[in-house]
Amino acid sequence: MTAKKIFVSVPLAAVLMTAAAPAGATTTDSFAFTPWRSAWATAPQAPTHTDWYPNWSEAGFDNQSVRQVIRVGAEGSELRIRLSNVYGTSPLRLTGATVARSAGGAAVRADSVRTVRFGGADGVTVPAGGQLSSDAVALPVRALEQLTVTLHFRGRTGPATFHNFADTLTYRASGDHLRDAAGEAFAEPPSLSWYYLAGVDVKPVTSPGRGRDAVVAFGDSLTDGVGSTFGADRRYPDALADRLVAEGRPRPVLNLGIGGNKVLNDSPCFGESALSRFRRDVLGRPDVRTVIVLQGTNDIVLPDGPQDRCTTPSPLVTSAEIVAGHRQLIREAHARGVKVIGATLPPYQGYAYWTERGDRVRNEVNQWIRTSGAYDGVVDFDSVVADPEHPERIGAEYVSGDLIHMKDAGYKAMADAVDLNSL
């Protein structure tokens, strides 16, 4: 089945977003007034216990180095990292940090290791509930290049702000291994999460005044990339960034999905609701031009599955309630001059918690997304990945083993369905 481009464009009046940053501020908003532009970002979550894989968020770190691999989406002559302690209950004391080009696994290229400083110092304290950016680091980067950020904490951090499902490996070692090129010290079983690292910004090599050109993919596990090849950067936002680079139109595509996330209700495991986190995760980034919203599946599906600490509360919701949540996101985006594209919810018949009720709600939400005109544009992921013979199911060439998430081909089909001109 060939991926189809299904997009309806509605004009959006240009509205300039302005923000007043306090003197000396190092908040995300402050880089609206500098040449810095987003190159990578993830959505922070509160520390929580999960049994799915090694999760260090509740215990935090104590005289340990944490090595994390990310892929940047923009070219730059310099970079800086952004750290988040937004869910911390005490100040976070970072002893030191480095950034380098990845050499695979926990290894880095020795000639690329750079010290990351904060106000000229090797270490920094991030206030509880706060975030901050590093000084500029003289390490040129290319779009789609993998970088490795290593953080060292000499003392005990306490519970860690993190991103639960990174779809890649994060490594840990006892002691200070900031400048290790080889990965031997990082021998314990790795985690699948990112810790404290919230973003990487770059100074563009050309056209530093381009302003707002970042695209945000905002959603749940279908945006987070569950089901894609592990560590291969084949989530749908990655595939969309690949397309932009291949066509000579590189723009950062920031993945701000959280697996299990809902529109209407918070979860201790799956993050604050879309309504609660939209302003911080999307609109708090002044260089965002367009956001693609793929949200609502978990509001529909989770009430029909077993209830536990991660899924509760999961009340049965109507399509009208989900639509009201979408309308609020649209209003907030437009108030900041951000273009907002609605993505239809893919089918999921065959999944363990599929019900006729849930599928009816999904179809009602999709009908509204397609026809209401509320969004500035629509990308019809539902039609793109559905089995033509059984449209209530994802096509076999696209679906992963659980019958609700995609494999690589499905995420590529989703990315191919986005009209690049709409961004």
**Residue 9 and residue 248: Cα distance in Å, rounded?**
22
What does pTM read for this prediction? 0.91
- pLDDT in the model for residue 25: 33
Residue-wise pLDDT for 313-357, tens only, equals 999 999 999 999 999 999 999 999 999 999 999 999 999 999 999
Under 8 Å between Cβ of 94 and 61: no
Tokens matching residue 45? 């979550």
Q: What is the pLDDT of residue 187?
A: 95
Confidence band (pLDDT; 50, 70, 90) for 208?
low
pLDDT in tens, 93-129: 999 999 999 999 999 999 999 999 999 999 999 999 9
What is the helix, strand, coil percentage profile of the chain, to 5? 20, 25, 50
pLDDT of residue 199: 98
Identify the DSSP state of 271. B
- The proportion of the chain whose per-residue pLDDT surpasses 90, expressed as a percent, equals 87
CA pair distance 95, 325, nearest whole angstrom: 42
Residue 205 has pLDDT above 90, yes or no: no
3-state SS, 116-172, equals ECECCECCEEECCCCEEECCCECCCECCCCEEEEEEEEEEECCCCCEECCCCCCEEE
List the one residue out of 72, 414, 376 whose CA is nearest residue 245.
72
Confidence of residue 210 (pLDDT cuts 50, 70, 90): low
Query: For position 10, what pLDDT does the model report?
Result: 31
Answer positive or negative: Cα dihedral of 336, 341, 343, 344.
positive
Residues 6+ apart with CB under 8 A from 256: 41, 42, 43, 216, 217, 218, 219, 223, 281, 282
The helix or strand, by DSSP H or E, that contains position 215, with its residue range, turns out to be: strand 214-219
pLDDT, position 207? 59
Beta bridge partners of 160: none
Question: Is residue 78 pLDDT above 90, yes or no?
Answer: yes
pLDDT of residue 28: 40
Mean confidence (pLDDT) of the chain: 91
Is the per-residue pLDDT at 26 higher than 60?
no
